[in-house]
Amino acid sequence: MDIIFATRDFISRSQRVMAVATRPRKSEYEKIAKITAAGMVLIGVVGLVISLLLHVV
């Protein structure tokens, strides 16, 4: 019975969150996309530098 109660409670909470949540505006989406892209580029550059340093040494 605990599983059934837990499932119903989870569904109830999820419905409340979905009722309050809104889709991001275009400006927010663009900002998130730019930050994510910058992070990916930064991680790639750091990986490249480490790879080059280890290859040279």
Confidence tier at 57 by pLDDT (50, 70, 90):
confident
Query: What mean pLDDT do residues 27-52 have?
Result: 98
Mean pLDDT for all residues in the chain: 94
What pLDDT, in 10s, does the model give residues 21-33?
A: 999 999 999 999 9
* Per-residue H/E/C for 10-45: HHHHHHHHHHHCCCCCHHHHHHHHHHHHHHHHHHHH
This prediction has a pTM of 0.62
